[in-house]
A and B are shown apart, each in its own frame.
Chain A
Amino acid sequence: MSTRVLIVEDEPEFLRRFSEAVTADPALHLLAAVSTGRAGRALLEAEPVDVMLVDLGLPDMDGTELIRHAVQRHPGCDCLVVTMFADDAHVMAALEAGATGYLLKDATNERITGAVHEVRAGGSPISPSIARRVLARFRSSPAAASTPPAAAVVATSAVPSPLSQRETEILQSIAKGFSFETVGEVLGISQHTVVAHVKNIYRKLAVHSRGEAVYEASQMGLL
């Protein structure tokens, strides 16, 4: 069964480029290629989607909003954010919304389809500075040290356990600039396992961010 791909990108050139790359791969099935967030959301409701490629700068809504929607309503859907420079701020926003990977806009066709396969296979790439930011994000978590009444609220909204020892080690090594290969060698695991861990970390980050939002909302009396 081929992987069903949805592309949401407002620039026609890139839309065409991504569509071509996906259709060229027999293992992938291009479900649709749309240029607005609303259309993307409608499609998500209408059809099951395996992988969604999303541009952050959509005309009608923020890409992170669409990612958040997809992750919440369709847990089986992997979201890859499409970014021009893979700069930290954009990537982090997408990861916190629930994206589990990212793609550069000028990526070659092989890279595009490679990334889709990779994320389906359970792995995600991560750059050192993103690793550093993710670590920082977990460290500054207020949920871990919350007061009892707030903890009760947070507990009902399924706040994640903190990162496992192994995940923290991986992030720390990557943040120091070690390659996946080296990290795998040092920890005695395959490179494949490393990227699988990274995808897990991304998932935790998204849940953690949501938990934090809930926590903050409860602190402000909104819940």
Chain B
Amino acid sequence: MSPAGARGLVALLLLFAVATARGLPLAPSEVQVLVGERTSLPADDDPSWQPAQAPDARVTPVAWYRVAFDAPASAVDQGWMLYLPYLYGGGQLWLNAQPVTVVLESRADLRVRWERPLLLPLPQAALRPGRNVLHLRAVSAGEPGIVFFPALKVGSQAELQGAFDRRFFVVRTLPQVTLVAGVVVGLLVVSIWWRRRQEVQYGLFGLAAILWALRTTTFIFDLLPAPLWPLWRMLYYASTGGFIAAMALFTASLTGRFDRRLAWALAGYVLLGPLLYGLGGERGDALVGRWWVLGLVPVGVSVAVFSFTAAWRERTPGNALIAATVALATLAGVHDYLLASGSTALASRLPEWSGDRIFLLHHAANLMLLVMGLLLSARFVHSLQAVEHANETLEARVAEREREIATSYERIAALQREQAVQDERQRMVQDLHDGLGSQLFSSLMRAERGALDSAAAAVTLRGAIDEMRVAIEALTPDDRDFRTAFGNFRFRWDQRLRDAGLEPSWRVDLPDAPLVLSPDLALQVLRVVQEALTNVLKHARATEVQVGLSHRAGELELDVIDNGAGPAAATQGGRGLANMRTRAARLGGRLQVEFGRPGARVVLAVPLRAT
């Protein structure tokens, strides 16, 4: 990492951290260090004292620092304080050889790692105007056995409180927020994945969020019972590696390059770290902390390279955002690694910044989670819209199909109606041809050879007119209700029979509902009745005639009863009877003729289903 890049990163990411590094009230005028185990405060003339800088880092379990500063006369009255940005392993503090305070160190039954900054009041009695000397015992927090000595500051509370609060917010409050938010969001997203297993991204993102929340506990618990320490350390490694791996897979998945083998390989590497630590103990810790963590860096870098390529190939805002965030997180990861391993490369180039020891990956990861969450919710909304669109399309297609079906049904129905009309017309033409036509033609022939006198011609023509009338009666009713047609028929014949001196009576026994018959059937039925009545008029010499119409059990029954000559009339009306039988047969019905003394009874029964 270039110094310029590091500076850019600093400027971009953590403006608040800058505030902690400037405007400090009073820096030490002189710093000395004594490396080595001493149970009590080393003497000032101990030859092991060497000059040093603040901040400082030493590979040793314990180091003593002697710090001189000049206090103004007002300092004693103001009540000065000492600000320590960090003191990871704890230790002890003296002012002018008087003990000030003890910060807990790790013991056999307790592990400490103080992430929080310390703001300690300096006792008024010990502080004096002019030169003062502070002695600080600093202990390594364990792995990798390095003592970190901060750039401590002394001053009034008013001058120091702000810096302390800012650092406290960054190293303590923010992680607490991250822990809660990460667990809540992670569980929500994982529950989505639980119901929709094919959406791997949700699973990976939720896993990453939860792992990150677990990792964040590192910054929250300052004190831990010793037996839990290894477990917690393993959890730390597993969650750190797991988070990076999950994010890598998530990025791959977002850009459509998710690979199951890659997932297994990464999962294997992630589990390797905690496993090594668990097997190797303290030695394993050093190994894992230095080398296993280093192995995670190429994972992050390759993800960055990969997402940059994707963003380059397909320039969508989403891809660009992923690439930028991943790059940022990778840089932060490298920075943290250098910082944690006490690398001189960073310390020599950015002494002030590295002395503050602000770990960045933590915040970069928060940003990354935020960006990924945004992208995921955008995808979620997009897929909802896609579903809505698909539904609309589907509905439109269904409606279209319904219209098509309705149209073709209409067409079929129209064709069927047309066919029915054709059939009906055909039957009627045939009927006109056979009935009225042949009647008129035979009369014409007879008239032409002089065999038709005027009386016979009148009979023939009246017959023809009757034919036409009955046809009009059968075809006229708009409603096709046979009751109307029969009523019109009756209306005409009643008058005619009365005019001929007969006493007609009509008996109609039909249900109230309209009786719909095809025009052809109606015509044939009326013709049979007309023929029967004509016979009565012409031959029967009757005085009364009874016409009955009834409908029951699917049959239409018509009867004509007269009180005339009976069988004697039948011989003359033979032709008419034959006609009536033919018509009845055509309708699938039957005609019965009974003769009494006197009178005759003609019964026509027609099944209505047969038409």
Q: Which of B492-549 contact A (CB under 8 A)?
A: 492, 494-495, 499, 506, 508, 510
* Chain A, Cβ-Cβ closest to B491: A127
Name the A residues within 8 Å of B145 (CB-CB).
none
B477 interface contact, C-beta 8 A: yes
Contact segment of A19-27, A30-38, A84-92: A84-92
B378 at the interface (CB under 8 A from A): no
Shortest CB-to-CB span from A3 to chain B, Å, is: 20
Contact of A128 among B469, B472, B488, B499 (CB under 8 A): B488
Docked complex Cα distance between A87 and B485 (Å): 12
A4 CB-CB contact with B under 8 Å: no
- Cα A178 to Cα B490 with chains together (Å): 9
Question: In chain A, residues 81-101, which have Cβ atoms closer than 8 Å to a Cβ of chain B?
Answer: 85-88
Contact A129 B488 (CB under 8 A): yes
Q: Is the CB of A177 within 8 A of B499?
A: no
Residue of B nearest to A177 (CB): B487
* Across-interface contacts of B510 in A (CB, < 8 A): 177
Write out the residue numbers on chain B whose beta carbons fall within 8 Å of the beta carbon of A174: 487
Q: Which of A160-210 contact B (CB under 8 A)?
A: 174-179, 182
Whether the pair A177, B490 counts as a contact (CB closer than 8 A) is yes
The answer to whether the Cβ of A108 comes within 8 Å of any Cβ in the partner chain is yes
In the bound complex, do residue A128 and residue B491 qualify as a contact, i.e. CB atoms below 8 Å apart? yes
A88, A106, A176: which contacts B483 (Cβ < 8 A)? A176
In the bound complex, residues from chain B placing their C-beta under 8 Å from that of A85 are 468-469, 472
Contact of B468 with A127 in the complex, beta carbons under 8 Å: no
Write out the residue numbers on chain B whose beta carbons fall within 8 Å of the beta carbon of A106: 462, 465
Chain A hits for B20, CB < 8 A:
none
- Chain A residues within an 8 Å CB radius of B74: none
Chain B residues with CB below 8 A from A87, complex form? 472, 476
A93 → chain B closest CB, angstroms: 15
- Asked if B250 CB lies within 8 Å of chain A CBs, one says no
A108, closest chain B residue (CB):
B499
- In whole angstroms, what is the CA distance A59 to B282 when docked? 130
Complex contact A111–B499 (CB within 8 A)? yes
Asked if B308 is at the interface of the complex by the 8 Å CB criterion, the answer is: no
Contact A129 B476 (CB under 8 A): yes
- B477 with A86: CB separation less than 8 A: no
- When C-beta atoms are compared, the residue in chain B nearest to A132 turns out to be B484
Our pick among B462, B468, B483, B492 for the contact of A177 (Cβ within 8 Å) is B483
Question: A178–B549 Cα gap in the complex (Å)?
Answer: 12
Q: By the criterion of a CB under 8 Å from any partner CB, how many residues of chain A are at the interface?
A: 20
Closest to A127 in B: B491
Establish whether residues A128 and B487, one from each chain, have CB atoms under 8 Å apart when the complex forms.
yes
Provide the bound-state CA to CA distance between A87 and B470, in Å: 11
B80: chain A residues at CB < 8 Å are none
B410 to chain A, nearest CB (A): 28
B277 on interface, CB distance cutoff 8 Å: no
Q: In the complex, how many angstroms separate the beta carbon of B466 from the nearest chain A beta carbon?
A: 10
Q: Do residues B491 and A125 form an inter-chain contact, with CB atoms below 8 A?
A: yes
- CB 8 Å contact bits of A129-142 with B (1 = contact, 0 = none): 10010000000000
Q: How many whole Å from A35's CB to the nearest CB in chain B? A: 23
| A45 adjacent to chain B (CB < 8 Å) | no
Chain B interface residue bracket vs A: 20 to 34
Asked if A129 and B487 sit within 8 Å, CB to CB, the answer is yes
A residues less than 8 Å from B472 (CB atoms): 85, 87
Interface contact A177-B465, CB-CB below 8 Å: no
Contacts of B491 in A (CB 8 A): 125, 127-128
CA distance A110 to B479 in the complex (A): 34
Considering only residues 153-209 of chain B, those with a C-beta below 8 Å from chain A are none
CB distance from B498 to the nearest CB of A (A): 10
Interface bits B440-479 vs A (CB < 8 Å: 1, else 0):
0000000000000000000000100100110010001101
Question: Which residues in A have their C-beta under 8 angstroms from that of B492?
Answer: 86, 127
Q: Which of B538-573 touch A at CB < 8 Å? A: none
Interfacial chain A residues near B484, Cβ < 8 Å: 128-129, 132, 175, 177
**B495: chain A residues within 8 A (beta carbon):** 111, 125
Write out the residue numbers on chain A whose beta carbons fall within 8 Å of the beta carbon of B506. Answer: 179, 182
A87 to B468, CA, bound (A): 11
Name the A residues within 8 Å of B486 (CB-CB): 177
Distance in angstroms between the alpha carbons of A24 and B477 in the assembled complex? 37
Complex alpha-carbon distance, A128 and B495, angstroms: 14
Inside 8 A of B488's CB, which chain A residues have their CB?
127-129
A88 to B473, CA, bound (A): 10
A176 to B491, CA, bound (A): 12
A14 CB, nearest partner CB in chain B, Å? 14
Specify which chain B residues have a CB less than 8 angstroms from the CB of A179 in the assembled complex. Answer: 490, 494, 506
Minimal beta-carbon separation of B479 from chain A (angstroms): 8
Complex-state Cα separation, A26 to B280, whole angstroms: 146
Chain A residues, CB < 8 A from B494: 179
What residues of B have a CB within 8 angstroms of the CB of A129 in the complex?
Answer: 476-477, 484-485, 487-488
A124 to B495, CA, bound (A): 13
The CA-CA distance from A125 to B488 in the complex, in Å, is 12
Chain A contacts to B: CB under 8 angstroms: 85-88, 106, 108, 110-111, 125, 127-129, 132, 174-179, 182
What 4 A-B pairs have minimum CB-CB distances, sorted nearest first?
A128-B487, A177-B487, A177-B483, A127-B491
Given A87-B476, A129-B477: 6 more A-B contacts, CB < 8 Å = A87-B472, A88-B476, A106-B462, A106-B465, A127-B492, A179-B490
Which residues does B use to contact A, with CB under 8 Å? 462, 465, 468-469, 472, 476-477, 479, 483-488, 490-492, 494-495, 499, 506, 508, 510
21 intermolecular pairs with C-beta atoms under 8 Å apart: A85-B469, A85-B472, A88-B476, A111-B495, A127-B491, A127-B492, A128-B484, A129-B476, A129-B485, A129-B488, A132-B477, A174-B487, A176-B483, A176-B487, A177-B484, A177-B486, A177-B490, A177-B508, A178-B487, A179-B490, A182-B506
